[in-house]
């Protein structure tokens, strides 16, 4: 019989600072961490654009003394600090993880962009030919997963998933699957990205999808997404072992749906969006009318939001209007590979307390839409089942299904 899988720990670094507490406070009060800014490098400039970088981040204040943050890229230290919080919240120690069938699965979309920027400026701008000897390890996409393995003394399956903006959901989904089928007892999983490198921002500006002012998911007047960065890391466990050690249980993961459109690198596919949600329902053994809440991918771009809203209406039919939908990127920004991991924290808030984070800056829905996007102010509702959507460039999609845990920890 397949194992039941629960979440016993969560940790994050976000534009609101280090820790789950400031992140949840922002979700509850509707406080955005985004603001317009601009920058320049010599004669080249960008902006204004709206975004949410992580400020005043000092990883050495959060990590053990034997860990050297300077040996890692910023996206790796985001993940390591978030994992420290998640593991401690789960009531585990590295020795506990080393003694169990434990693994690490980390999603990232941008990888070591910050280090690539440093290398490029030093080499091509300053004409300095000698680079830091750890530049390659800092750039490699597996750096966060490898850093977590060293931090947590985990020697089981450790790998990285890179599927752009769906990376976090893909990683959590794979952790769920490995525990469900008995390969692992514990998975430390989530997503991380550090996105505020000048060249990377210029590349996003070139796409023409960044808002200069306010991110307005699903709203009339929306004009683009707001970049951010950070990490969301979780501890997933076999329910039986979690109960045996009296672990705090935040929610149960009950299904995951994957899809790929296989045609366009940037344009979302309605059929693929619908398939990810339908596959999640089928995987969880759910009927459409059982879903109370959806944390939408909701970037604030014209086409993405229209396609996702249409997909929700098609999948859920008449029940779609009864679902509390939240697009939290207007609060914490689009953190690329970390986005769906951060959004999962908001989903856990809804399942545990019934608090649905608001879709901020909402003016009015598109014509014909009957969906409830939780406009501008948090709502309180009974939430037993929730979905979390992540739809990425390249047509790579992942939807998680979760249920409120009613048992005793």
Active site residues: 165, 297, 334
Residue 91's contacts (CB-CB under 8 Å, 6 or more residues apart) are 8, 9, 245, 246, 247, 248
DSSP secondary structure string for all residues of 277-311: HHHHHHHHT--GGG--EEE----S-HHHHHHHHHH
Among the listed residues 326, 298, 335, 327, the one whose alpha carbon sits nearest the alpha carbon of residue 15: 335
- The CA distance from 83 to 86, in Å, is 5
- The CA distance from 99 to 145, in Å, is 19
Q: For 298, how many CA atoms within 13 A lie in the half-sphere containing its CB?
A: 30
Among the listed residues 135, 134, 130, the one whose alpha carbon sits nearest the alpha carbon of residue 115: 135
Residue 88 backbone zone (phi > 0: left; psi -120 to 50: alpha; other: beta): alpha
The distance of Cα 79 from the centroid of its chain, to the nearest Å, equals: 12
Contact criterion met (CB below 8 Å) for 170 and 339 = no
What pairs with residue 400 in β-bridges?
A: 256, 388
- The CA distance from 183 to 395, in Å, is 29
Length of the chain: 409
Residue 153 backbone zone (phi > 0: left; psi -120 to 50: alpha; other: beta): left
Q: Does residue 48 have a cis peptide bond before it, meaning omega lies within 30 degrees of 0? A: yes
Contact criterion met (CB below 8 Å) for 76 and 143 = yes
Residue 329's contacts (CB-CB under 8 Å, 6 or more residues apart) are 215, 217, 225, 226, 298, 299, 300, 339, 343
- The CA distance from 220 to 158, in Å, is 43
Q: Which two tokens stand for residue 252?
A: 């149960």
């Amino acid at each position: 019989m397949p194992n039941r899988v629960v979440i016993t720990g969560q940790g994050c670094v976000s534009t609101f600072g280090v820790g789950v507490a400031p992140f949840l406070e922002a979700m509850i009060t509707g406080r955005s961490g985004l603001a317009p800014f601009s920058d320049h490098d010599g004669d080249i400039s960008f902006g204004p654009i709206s975004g949410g970088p992580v400020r005043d981040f000092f990883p050495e204040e959060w990590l053990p003394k034997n860990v050297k943050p300077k040996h890692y890229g910023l996206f790796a230290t985001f993940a390591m600090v978030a994992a420290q919080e998640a593991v401690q919240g789960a009531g585990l120690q590295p020795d506990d993880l080393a003694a169990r069938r434990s693994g690490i699965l980390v999603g990232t979309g941008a990888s070591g962009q910050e280090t690539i920027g440093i290398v490029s400026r030093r080499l091509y701008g300053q004409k300095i030919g000698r680079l830091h000897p750890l530049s390659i390890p800092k750039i490699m996409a597996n750096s966060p997963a490898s850093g977590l393995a060293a931090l947590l003394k985990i020697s089981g399956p450790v790998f990285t998933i890179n599927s752009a903006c769906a990376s976090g959901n893909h990683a959590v989904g794979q952790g769920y699957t490995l525990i469900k089928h008995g390969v692992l007892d514990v998975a430390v999983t989530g997503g991380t990205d550090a996105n505020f490198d000048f060249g990377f921002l210029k590349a996003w500006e070139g796409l023409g999808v960044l808002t200069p002012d306010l991110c307005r998911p699903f709203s009339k007047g929306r004009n683009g997404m707001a970049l951010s960065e950070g990490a969301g890391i979780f501890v997933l466990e076999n329910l039986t072992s979690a109960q045996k050690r009296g672990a705090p249980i935040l929610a149960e993961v009950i299904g995951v749906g994957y899809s790929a459109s296989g045609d366009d690198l940037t344009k979302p596919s309605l059929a693929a969006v619908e398939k990810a949600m339908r596959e999640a329902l089928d995987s969880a053994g759910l009927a459409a009318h059982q879903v109370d809440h959806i944390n939408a991918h909701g970037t604030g771009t014209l086409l993405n939001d229209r396609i996702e809203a249409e997909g929700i209406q098609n999948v859920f039919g008449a029940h779609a209007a009864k679902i509390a939908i939240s697009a939290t990127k207007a609060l914490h920004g689009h953190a690329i590979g970390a986005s769906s991991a951060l959004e999962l924290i908001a989903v856990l808030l809804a399942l545990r307390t019934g608090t649905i984070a608001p879709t901020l800056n909402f003016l009015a829905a598109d014509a014909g839409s009957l969906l409830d996007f939780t406009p501008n102010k948090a709502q309180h509702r009974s939430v037993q089942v929730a979905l979390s959507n992540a739809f990425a460039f390249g047509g790579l999609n992942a939807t998680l299904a979760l249920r409120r845990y009613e048992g005793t920890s």
